[in-house]
Structure 1
């Protein structure tokens, strides 16, 4: 938020096919400014955090359009509001889509 990004969604999402966790962000800036600029801002934050961010390498960060299907599905099931929260969402089906595991910080 401090860098001017207004993410609609921020969450860890587990992809069982890849057996990998991804840190997902959905923000209007992905569409309006382009993913390259948004990735640059996220990289700034990771560098500022230093050791605190070492558990989340930049390679696991993914950007989504706010209208992405996953974002819309989660918005239909969970709403955290604009603040930062911590909602575990595991082994759920939304409109026929199985969500294995997610740790949602924001979905607005």
Structure 2
């Protein structure tokens, strides 16, 4: 069985790579990942990987967690995986996604594969965050069209 990564209050390369791998596999299974990011809880100092997909609303969170669990169970013994208790799934009404959408202005918004932290975005304080991607086209049209070109591309296999 694959090895679960150990979470600390510090963001690690191991967490970054395990998240990339999971997102890539979710993409391959047509899981409709529209946003994905690690978020540090300011009080608990714990990290959660958040996956945002419309399938969470249409199929239910339990079904989406099962999809992730199936990916984890199929991992090679030498692969690192993220335990389900360190993952949060959300529909597209996620408060962090909405906050980032409210804060995006103009062509200089570089969103995707970025570390954001100690910042207030759209009225929400972000202690620390690693953003893999936001698919502005799929998340809706309330974002200036110039930022669409800055959305992070899908992770390559």
Shorter-chain TM-score above 0.5: yes
Unmatched segments (≥5 aa) in structure 2: 1-26, 136-157
**Is 1:106 matched with 2:133?**
yes
Instruction: Tell me the CA shift for residue 19 of structure 1.
Output: 1.1
Instruction: Tell me the CA shift for residue 9 of structure 1.
Output: 0.9
Alignment size in residue pairs = 103
- The 3-state SS of whatever aligns with 1:49 is coil
Q: Who wins on radius of gyration, i.e. which is larger?
A: 2
Normalising by structure 1, report the TM-score. 0.83
Post-superposition Cα deviations, 1:67-88, rounded to whole Å, max 9, x if no partner, equal 12211112343664xxxx5211
Matches within 5 A, 1:1-108: 1-50=27-76, 51-54=78-81, 56-76=82-102, 77=104, 80=111, 85-108=112-135
Aligned-residue CA RMSD (Å):
1.8
Normalising by structure 2, report the TM-score. 0.59
TM superposition outliers: structure 1 runs of 4+ over 4 Å = none
